[in-house]
Amino acid sequence: MQHFEVVTAVAAPPDQVFAVCLDVEAHTRSMADSSERAVDGRTRGELSLGDTVTFQARHFGLTWRLKARITSYDRPRRFVDEQESGPFKRWRHAHHFEPDGDGGTIMRDVIDFASPLGPVGRIVDRILLSRYMPHLIRIRNAYLAGTFDVGGSR
């Protein structure tokens, strides 16, 4: 299984950052380069505990679908989404939000994933996805952080 963390500073309070990270439309806009869209479950608005959403996107020239459920929710500190069905053997994404002391937020994404297909999947994870997945999260976070101005409003 692969594990990585991405830390992002955001110029907005934790509650606002928490909300935008759960907003389905904000997520799909952040992943526009991969033509990501919500196709099932909650396809608009803010997700909450127990909600599912299925995203469809193109990566590596192929169309993929991933259905995720919000399995943990502690507003505005933390939430977790986990794959219920999709391309991974396992996908777990914990989102942590801490005040930075200056009115902003330190957002920490902790991701654990594994591809299917045993040894072949582990090779794909190590060689390809261990770089690609953190890159996608950084793109997403840069977009989401950019939705806030210096005053912390969206």
The CATH number of residue 120's host domain is 3.30.530.20
pTM: 0.93
pLDDT confidence tier of residue 149, bands split at 50, 70 and 90: low
Q: Is 63 helix (H, G, I), strand (E, B) or coil?
A: strand
153 inside domain: no
116 inside domain: yes
Q: What is the pLDDT of residue 150?
A: 53
Query: 142 is written with which tokens?
Result: 């840069």
151 inside domain: no
pLDDT confidence tier of residue 152, bands split at 50, 70 and 90: very low
88 inside domain: yes
Q: Can you count the helices (H) and strands (E) in the chain?
A: 4, 7
- Structurally, the chain folds into a number of domains equal to 1
Contact 107, 95 (CB under 8 A): yes
67 inside domain: yes
Give the domain extent around 142: 2-146
26 inside domain: yes
